[in-house]
């Protein structure tokens, strides 16, 4: 039995998705929920640290973003090590990407807080990419709790 090749994105599509990841990561670093909303479908379905399954961007914001973004800093996707897969018609893409951030221990000391994500994106009629699924998880052995208290820039 021969498998079809993995559907790697074209170089141009890969560039689009890496740009999307980079711009979204800036929203996380800025703790700017309002700027992040257009990156995601209103009815997104996700898995996350604080909830097994979340349906809707509003619920995701309340259960995940509010519990993570203000308590961490320096969030970045590792674009050099990101894989981008895409449907043959270029209407759907999946980013498989490591990420890094910094967390705070209860005593205020900082620790590395790396993880990984799988993000499914769908191209909209206006040409924008929106995330329709996300599964982000911390690396093995990384403490789930971070004790930062950064302010939310905008809801």
> Which residues, 6+ apart, have CB-to-CB distance to 84 below 8 Å?
8, 9, 13, 14, 17, 18, 93, 94, 95, 96
Instruction: Return the percentage of the chain with pLDDT > 70, whole number.
Output: 97
pLDDT confidence tier of residue 2, bands split at 50, 70 and 90: confident
pLDDT at residue 63, as a whole number: 84
Between strands 40-47 and 129-138, the pairing is parallel
Residue ranges and CATH numbers for the domains of the chain are: 11-138 (3.10.450.50)
pLDDT at residue 61, as a whole number: 92
Whole-number Å distance between alpha carbons of 57 and 69: 15
Q: pTM to 2 decimals?
A: 0.94
pLDDT confidence tier of residue 4, bands split at 50, 70 and 90: confident
Question: Which residue, among 86, 92, 72, 88, has the nearest Cα to 25 in the 3D structure?
Answer: 72
Whole-number Å distance between alpha carbons of 137 and 68: 12
Question: Which residue, among 38, 4, 26, 22, has the nearest Cα to 74 in the 3D structure?
Answer: 26
């Amino acid at each position: 039995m021969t498998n079809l090749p993995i559907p790697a994105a074209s170089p141009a599509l890969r560039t689009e998705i890496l740009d999307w990841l980079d711009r979204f990561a800036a929203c996380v670093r800025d703790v700017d929920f309002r700027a992040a909303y257009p990156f995601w479908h209103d009815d997104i379905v996700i898995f996350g640290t604080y909830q097994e399954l979340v349906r809707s961007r509003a619920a995701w914001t309340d259960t995940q973003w509010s519990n993570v973004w203000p308590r961490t800093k320096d969030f970045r996707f590792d674009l050099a090590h990101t894989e981008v897969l895409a449907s043959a018609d270029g209407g759907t893409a999946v980013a498989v990407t490591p990420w890094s951030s910094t967390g705070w221990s209860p005593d205020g000391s900082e620790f590395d807080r790396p993880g990984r994500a799988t993000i499914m994106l769908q191209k909209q009629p206006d040409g924008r990419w929106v995330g329709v699924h996300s599964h982000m998880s911390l690396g093995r052995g990384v403490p789930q709790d971070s004790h930062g208290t950064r302010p939310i820039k905008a809801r």
